[in-house]
Amino acid sequence: MNHGSGGSLAGKLIRNIFVKRFGMDEPLTDSAVLKENGLLLAFTTDSYVVDPIFFPGGDIGKLAVCGTVNDLSVSGAMPKYISASFIIEEGFSFHDLALIADSMSSEAKNAGVRIVTGDTKVVEKGKCDKLFINTSGIGMMKSGFETISSAMDVKPGDKLIINGPIGNHAIAVLGARKELTFSSPVTSDCASLNHLINNVLEECSEIHFMRDLTRGGLATVLNELADMIFSGIIINESTVPVEEPVKGLCEILGFDPLCLANEGKVLFVVGNEGHQKVLDVLRSHPLGKYSEVIGEIVDNGRNMVILNTAIGGRRIIDMPSGMQLPRIC
Amino acid sequence: MNHGSGGSLAGKLIRNIFVKRFGMDEPLTDSAVLKENGLLLAFTTDSYVVDPIFFPGGDIGKLAVCGTVNDLSVSGAMPKYISASFIIEEGFSFHDLALIADSMSSEAKNAGVRIVTGDTKVVEKGKCDKLFINTSGIGMMKSGFETISSAMDVKPGDKLIINGPIGNHAIAVLGARKELTFSSPVTSDCASLNHLINNVLEECSEIHFMRDLTRGGLATVLNELADMIFSGIIINESTVPVEEPVKGLCEILGFDPLCLANEGKVLFVVGNEGHQKVLDVLRSHPLGKYSEVIGEIVDNGRNMVILNTAIGGRRIIDMPSGMQLPRIC
């Protein structure tokens, strides 16, 4: 199960089994960038196996559209076309399937993408868990952002910005799974970020890197980034937004919010000069109202992620090796 | 289970639940054709849930590459890029996963396509059946074949040609599933047809329609074609190639070879003038050695598929409503 976590074991599985055999390019990013007749396309795929399929703030269908839209967007592409492939357990209700298709259709409209091709398979009862959805997506690379996934322009002094509180998606799904009741409701942040990201790319300069904070959470993205740039990263815990009920449940269950999955959060790395403008643009959009600067890139000679804790200590944030919660997306 | 068959119930499910909500274009073909900056792309997706995952002539990995390559090819596109997304059951062996990745890699090389992006998910033991794979694919439309999937040029007198014996894939998978022994081995026809199809498109004229004969078999494709062209189709049973052990097992089990799935067979509809050349080109390729003219388009005022049986009778070939064999691909 830990190999499906998005953490270091997942990375090992992917590198050891697939990357060499398929001749894929490193670093592994959210989308492949393909050049055809002078046109730069981004191409990405994700299978969604979230359990349960309905949760506060979304369902597997909405998630499947948002996830692929976001993978294209953080690659510097304008998402355009989505495929939708369904593996359905025998006996699954038509009513629920229609609800999920409705939610995909409405999220696609929101994001301004078209679902253009699809497939359905049905397997015997007990051979899959209700419904799995794969979405693949094609986007058009925005000119000037071809190398953004490589983080090659990131340098010491750059600021790290996220667009709001982390951990909601994981806790909302866990809550739905375990039928937990919260003092105040926790809703998944599941959202298509392409319009928000587009605003930033159009209006701001010095955007050096973007990545959505999905499986493996902020901790995974920060460690991957540190490895890519061979520099240190310092995060100030007191500035990382986490909603109270999420914080509370993490304390009770021993989860680290930094490792929890999100489905509507993106990390921007921005040059020091440009960061205030990015913050302003983000905060003026409904999906970025609670954006914060959470840390910066430092030249400490080691590709290490350091957390200045809220109580004045320091600790290393490691790549999560396994998973806190399985089947979160 | 019948909704996953590729037959008429599958068609109803897709139309009733997905097509309207997603605003997809009819007729539903194997790939979407997308126009971007003057470039015509084909985009397709398929999830593979074949049981068992290893069978004579292939495995789920080879199937996943061939299937998507073929869907692009019959749409008149040159397949270029493939995505690969894995849903893996907890405890599935690394050894088998590596074998399957090897087989995908080698088939991609064969077909001349690149696997450029991927995803892995792991679900708990018992929540999926060993391994499901989704592949999506991007191809470049070959100029002059933009409307081939619509069958708009098909007319009475056109000949129907298939590139060899039908039913092998379904029977090979069934044999592996039930551990049947055959008098002579039945091997899946699983193959990437893009080079064969390319030869035909480059060297022949009057190619009016192509479709691969997968789930639902020849019977499904013929019925879909008859509906698209509002014309009749006559098939001569004695000319439809079926290998002896496949024929034998069909007689024993009551299967109709016309309804059995294939993974390396394509139907061409060719103008009467051009059909001999197509036959010659097909027969000169290893995957087309046993090509045959199996029938023709007729103007009988009804969109009906008629079989002239080998013993001199006539019967209507209906769209299979359900399935003969589940999880064949």
Cα separation, A84 vs A132, whole angstroms: 10
Minimum CA–CA partner of B33 in chain A: A116
Rounded mean pLDDT, B262-285:
97
Phi, then psi, of B158 in degrees rounded to 5: -60, 145
pLDDT at B162: 98
Reply yes or no on whether the pLDDT at B140 is more than 80. yes
Chain B interface includes A83 (CB < 8 A):
yes
Minimum CA–CA partner of B89 in chain A: A1
pLDDT at B94: 95
How do residues A185-224 score in pLDDT, each as one tens digit? 899 999 999 999 999 999 999 999 999 999 999 999 999 9
pLDDT at B179: 79
Instruction: Work out the mean pLDDT of chain B and round it to a whole number.
Output: 94
Q: Are A272 and A157 in contact (CB under 8 A)?
A: yes
pLDDT at B88: 97
Cα separation, B309 vs B315, whole angstroms: 7
Domains of chain A by residue range: 18-141, 151-316
Which tokens go with A245? 């009920």
Architecture of domain A151-316: Alpha-Beta Complex (3.90)
Cα separation, B267 vs B295, whole angstroms: 11
A327/B1 Cβ within 8 A: no
Domains A18-141 and A151-316 agree in fold: no
Instruction: Work out the mean pLDDT of chain A and round it to a whole number.
Output: 94
Reply yes or no on whether the pLDDT at A69 is more than 80. yes
Reply yes or no on whether the pLDDT at B114 is more than 90. yes
The burial of B14, by beta-carbon neighbours within 10 Å (0-12 exposed, 13-18 middle, 19 or more buried), is given as middle
Q: Which residues in chain A touch residue B31, judged by CB atoms under 8 angstroms apart?
A: 117
- B15 phi-psi bin (left φ>0, alpha ψ -120 to 50, beta other): alpha
Model confidence at A8, pLDDT cuts 50, 70, 90, reads confident
Chain B: closest CA distance from residue A123 (Å): 7
Pairing label, strands B232-236, B32-36: unpaired
- Strand-pairing partners, residue B114, are B81
Phi, then psi, of B104 in degrees rounded to 5: -65, -45
Work out the end-to-end distance of chain A between its first and last CA atoms, rounded to an integer number of angstroms: 14
Reply yes or no on whether the pLDDT at A273 is more than 80. yes
Reply yes or no on whether the pLDDT at A323 is more than 70. no
- B91 phi-psi bin (left φ>0, alpha ψ -120 to 50, beta other): left
Residue with tokens 């205030």: A276
pLDDT at B323: 67
Model confidence at B187, pLDDT cuts 50, 70, 90, reads very high
Chain B interface includes A64 (CB < 8 A):
no
Interface test with B, best of A34, A115, A119, A128 (most B CBs within 10 A): A119
Architecture of domain B18-141: 2-Layer Sandwich (3.30)
